[in-house]
A = this chain, B = another copy of it.
Amino acid sequence: MGTTQLGTVPEPKYWHLRTVLAEALDTEFAVGEILPNERELAARFGVARATLRQALEQLELEGRLQRRRGVGTTVAPPRLGVDVSTPTHVWPGADQDAWQPRDCVLAPAPAPVARLLETAADEAVHTVRRVRVTHGQSVAAELIYVPSASVPELSAIDAPSGPARARSVLRELRRPALDGQDRAVELGSARADDAKELDRLPGAPVLVVTTRYAVAGRIAAVSVATYRADTCRLTFGESGDLEISDQPQERRAS
């Protein structure tokens, strides 16, 4: 038996369909244009609607399509480059950045966050919720967790809730000198509350950026920001003008 079988691998229909559609998007459609509806596309390609949807899901995951219930499927614009790099010693909300404070509650953090903060699982922490808006679009929702022990002054804030309280907490947060921060990016799916904020359905793919803020050698705060994976490209450094949105074509073997 040969080592590599060339013609014997039957490509799944939905994968082939994805390729065909991707080429059509490049050549026959403009950004924002509406595609024929799923039932018509499925009929046109001679496949079941579920199969056609599998191909569309791929293209949506790659940021090339946008689908909205009740409206239709449109050709997505290139992904927005969103800068997530920060000066090492700057707290969130330090200056007029792109974030809009939404609310702040005092509640126990989720278990994984509590582990990062090295607090008891049931200890209440200040939780600021804010949303990042770029080009008129909500691209990220963030939760910032601050244990009371990190910034004692927080307990003196009297605004009961809402954006006002969130702003106060962020202001007080700037008191302690920040040693540094580090960051991790991973794939996740939007929880119900984030999905609503981002105008997506629950389960939509998101890029989760977890940041730890260190003060005096300890983690003083943790933020978990979820970015829309379909419309965003996270940039670090001065790479805001990067223009990679298309998938590279299939390469030829050597």
Q: A186-B79, A234-B184, A250-B191 are in contact. Are A203 and B58 (CB under 8 A)?
A: yes
A192 to chain B, nearest CB (A): 7
A77 at the binding interface (Cβ < 8 Å) = no
Min CB–CB distance A88 → chain B (angstroms): 8
A36 interface hit (Cβ, 8 Å): no
Q: Known contacts A112-B245, A116-B243, A254-B103; decide if A185 and B233 are in contact (CB<8 Å).
A: yes
Binds B, one of A39-47, A168-176, A205-213: A205-213
Chain B, residue nearest A9 (CB): B192
Are the CB atoms of B235 and A112 closer together than 8 Å?
no
The contact size tier of chain A is 35 or more
Q: Are A236 and B183 in touch, CB under 8 angstroms?
A: yes
Contact B233–A236 (Cβ < 8 Å): no
Q: Please give the residue numbers on chain A whose beta carbons come within 8 Å of chain B beta carbons, in ascending order.
A: 12, 15, 18, 58, 61-63, 79, 81, 103, 105, 107, 109-113, 115-116, 127, 143, 161, 180-189, 191-193, 202-203, 205, 207-208, 210, 212, 224, 229-230, 232-239, 242-254
Known A184-B236, A187-B229; further 7 A-B contacts with Cβ < 8 A? A110-B251, A112-B243, A112-B248, A127-B251, A180-B237, A184-B234, A210-B242
